[in-house]
Amino acid sequence: MVERESMPCDVVIVGGGPAGLSAAIRLKQLNDSLEVIVLEKGSEIGAHILSGAVVDPKAIDELLPEWRDQGCPLAETPVTDNWHWVLTKNGHHSIPHILMPPFMSNHGTYTGSLGNLCRWLAEQAEALGVMVFPGFPAAEVIVGEDGAVGGVITQDMGVAADGSHKSDFQPGMEIHAKYTLFAEGARGNLTKRMKAKYDLEADCQPQVYGLGIKELWDIDPDKHVPGRVLHTQGWPLNESDSWGGGFLYHQANGQVALGFVTALDYKNPWVSPYQEFQRWKQHPSIREYLEGGKRVAYGARVINEGGWQSVPKLAFPGGALIGCAAGFVNVPRIKGSHTAMKSGMLAAESIAAAIGRGEERSELMDYDAAVRDSWIATELKKVQNAQPAVAKFGGELGTVIAGVDMWMRQLKIGLPIAMKHEPDYELTGRADLFPKIDYPKPDGEISFDRLTSVSFSYTNHAEDQPCHLIVKDPELQVTSELGVYGGPSNRYCPAGVYEWLEDETTGEPKFQINSQNCVHCKTCDIKDPNQNITWTTPEGGGGPNYPNM
């Protein structure tokens, strides 16, 4: 048994993203005497934050009304121009905005780095007295004999790959709290455990995901239009009966953020979301922006796409889910930061009231009720059939059906039905039923190989530590993941973590995990067809170090 130091507090928040930091700020606004701790697994706040991003300021207006005049970096670039293209192989046509419901407009939004917004929010939180600890991932949940969550244990440091303690070993600390908020983002490891332990998904649809891959480019100043926002759909994913879309946002300092989201419910196991992104960049309408420019950053992260019907029960004894840990992304708008922040604020209000009544480790059902009675619910209910419509009927027909459904809901004549989801991994098909895809080689100017791209994520993990990617049954990987599905891990991972090699001694297939490449996107935990891979937290500070992403 490892002896651990302990620290008591009122509230511990797992995750330093928009939801976690908003909850921390709101707690201190409501009760300055509360002791609030934010734990962040990245080396600094913002190091693991990845988003487009176009941000609806609705929540931050409520949280910090003077943010535009307080040096917030998000205020630099309001959205000025909004385009939506349907791509064909060599051209595109625009979807007129008049065909879209009013809530799809980007009027009044801002584009910029979500990571930098989080860095600024952390400064505001610390100024209020919040204790923010980057580099300290929460590895275990403390659960009392009464079944209530009582805090978390941070990750041990200095553990060798064989489990032994190195000379610099430091045991993790027990953080004991009256309430614990899980703000880990999409597919968080502890969130996954809490969902299972408290059966939080008993009355909702399964969560489904998309994989977002992003790059940051310095482009020719003559091509840069600050505030221009472009979204695309159609090619190239329509060639493999997959769906998703691209984005290109003109942000501050002559940069564009561009990226590509592939829905992870694709059936063809030969699809590579990374390669589809490289193809998309070569489209003439996209390439023209990038020619003469320079890529400066790369990253990847999964996105919740389940919508309102996939929101689980949010509260359990001593704890609650906030932000993308619960799944509040508005898929058609490609926005979730504002809903994440609002959920954190609502949880904070519930906790402050409970502590004010002298309660601790109770079940915050008023938080769950508040979310379901808030503008989060109003907004997400309007778009709840958009994702499943496209998933069921395909990109073209599905988009039309989704548009009709959204308009009907906008006009309050929508049918009172919520379409269902199937887990992404269950939809992966047998390799022998689908044609292999011959992806073009990268040109090194617009498109790049994966390992070169990973170097632009500035990913680093301490050497000689236990592998944080756990394969439950190694034999199943060989017989099924490779034998039945053709080894899709080598293609769905955007960082080259997984490889199928030939064992030099036996000549048999060998599954190699290059965990040092991991950018913490969580795709493997979601898309592995046998759910045989589990993502866990590596040593603190490991993973990507995203600049300005």
- Confidence band (pLDDT; 50, 70, 90) for 402? confident
Question: Tens digit of pLDDT for each residue in 407-446?
Answer: 888 888 877 788 899 999 999 999 999 999 999 999 999 9
Q: Is pLDDT at 206 greater than 80 in this prediction? A: yes
What pLDDT is recorded for position 66?
97
- Read off the pLDDT of each residue in 309-316 and give the average, rounded to a whole number: 98
- Read off the pLDDT of each residue in 85-101 and give the average, rounded to a whole number: 89
The answer to whether 527 and 464 are in contact (CB under 8 A) is: no
Q: What are phi and psi of 184, to 5 degrees?
A: -80, -5
Q: How many residues does the chain have?
A: 549
What pLDDT is recorded for position 520?
98
Residues 428/431/433/436 CA torsion (nearest 10 deg)? 110
What pLDDT is recorded for position 398?
86
Give the Cα separation of 207 and 191 in Å (integer).
13
What pLDDT is recorded for position 395?
79
- Confidence band (pLDDT; 50, 70, 90) for 241? very high
What pLDDT is recorded for position 403?
87
Give the Cα separation of 228 and 246 in Å (integer).
14
Residues 199/266/113/182 CA torsion (nearest 10 deg)? 10
Q: Determine the 3-state secondary structure of 215 from DSSP.
A: strand
| Residue for token pair 């700020």 | 25
Cis? peptide before 348, omega within 30° of 0: no
Burial of 65 (0-12, 13-18, 19+ CB in 10 A): exposed
Question: Tens digit of pLDDT for each residue in 372-391?
Answer: 999 999 999 999 998 888 88
Question: Tens digit of pLDDT for each residue in 490-547?
Answer: 999 999 999 999 988 899 999 999 999 999 999 999 999 999 999 999 998 899 999 9
Q: Kind of pairing, strands 81-87 and 228-234?
A: parallel
What pLDDT is recorded for position 57?
97
User: Measuring CA to CA, how many Å separate 543 from each of 14, 40, 46, 182, 519?
Assistant: 17, 12, 12, 20, 5
The answer to whether 349 and 209 are in contact (CB under 8 A) is: no
98 or 274: which carries more pLDDT confidence?
Answer: 274
- Confidence band (pLDDT; 50, 70, 90) for 161? very high
Amino acid at 49: I
Task: Find, among 81, 35, 39, 74, the residue nearest to 58 by Cα.
Answer: 74
Task: Find, among 303, 229, 256, the residue nearest to 50 by Cα.
Answer: 303
Give the Cα separation of 257 and 212 in Å (integer).
12
The pair of three-digit structure tokens given for residue 387, joined into one six-digit string: 């994702």
Cβ within 8 Å of residue 111, ≥6 positions away: 52, 53, 54, 55, 77, 78, 79, 227, 229, 249, 250, 251, 257
- Read off the pLDDT of each residue in 182-211 and give the average, rounded to a whole number: 97
What pLDDT is recorded for position 391?
85
- Confidence band (pLDDT; 50, 70, 90) for 404? confident
Q: Rounded mean pLDDT of the chain?
A: 95
Helix, strand and coil content of the chain, in percent to the nearest 5, comes to 30, 25, 45
The pair of three-digit structure tokens given for residue 120, joined into one six-digit string: 């600024």
Q: Determine the 3-state secondary structure of 6 from DSSP.
A: strand
The answer to whether 173 and 154 are in contact (CB under 8 A) is: yes
- Read off the pLDDT of each residue in 68-76 and give the average, rounded to a whole number: 96
